[in-house]
Amino acid sequence: MREILGRRRGLRFRRSGRHAQLDAALTCATGWQWPVVPGVGHSASAGRERSCGCPDPECVVPGAHPFDPGLLTATTDERMVRWWWAGRPDAPVVLATGGRAPCALSLPAVAGARALVALDRMGMRLGPVVATPTRWSLLVAPYSLERLGELLHAKDWVPSSLRFHGDGGYLVLPPSETGKGPVWWERAPAADTAGSASRARPATGGPAGGRGPAAPWLPEVEGVLDALVEASTGAPGGGSKLAY
């Protein structure tokens, strides 16, 4: 994974149970034009945390990453998506971030919950927020690594708990289940009713072959990063309010 260093009712797709992951993958790929690939999944374990389906016995993101096929095969092709999930209906839905797809900023779960409260108080409009038991991720409009580097260079300081998921990265989407637990929408995707091509491109087709749902609205990374830095300052002793 290429990175830089509460629970609510999740968004439901057309069907549930065995077909939930397929429906989510089709909505992302053919409706929103977000490239996806199945995650490796997890295996049963007697412990609280289930082991990863990959060969690494010490995998730090059990079940929450691509393996076979790899991330470079992520696609928006409906036939390929159906074929993948027909063979593995419980496979996690993994989004390949960057390019024309959304990117994300993520925080540890506790810090992420605090951040959402702070950003709401500031009146910051947020896009979709993906939550897991360990990390919360705020989806943003695509950005390049060069652009991100310029933004970070202009900052005197950013929360140490913040990670950036951009080109070459990935993010597990709901309603997946990983070795660390479920994945859900803490903030459900909302359509870009303004139809802004600079934020999210409207889909040309959906799972049923007709016009798909409007792609979710995504904020620009600058605004979210600025708001997170502002929300993180002022802890006792000069520390960060968004620390682990």
**What pLDDT was estimated at residue 207?**
41
**What pLDDT was estimated at residue 214?**
84
**What pLDDT was estimated at residue 44?**
64
**What pLDDT was estimated at residue 232?**
83
Distance CA 5, CA 44 (A): 30
Residues 155 and 168 sit within 8 Å (Cβ to Cβ): no
Which letter, b or e, does each residue of 47-84 get, where b requires 16 or more Cβ atoms within 10 Å of its Cβ? eeebbbbbeeeebebbbbbbbeeebeebbbebebbbeb
Predicted TM-score (pTM) of this structure: 0.82
**What pLDDT was estimated at residue 213?**
67
Residues 115 and 107 sit within 8 Å (Cβ to Cβ): yes
Distance CA 92, CA 38 (A): 6
**What pLDDT was estimated at residue 208?**
39
Per-10-residue mean pLDDT of the chain, 244 residues long, equals 39 56 96 95 65 87 88 96 95 95 94 92 95 95 94 90 93 92 94 51 38 82 93 73 73
The residues, any chain, with a CB within 8 Å of residue 50's CB and separated by 6 or more, are: 42, 43, 44, 62, 63, 179
Beta bridge partners of residue 140, listed in sequence order? 103
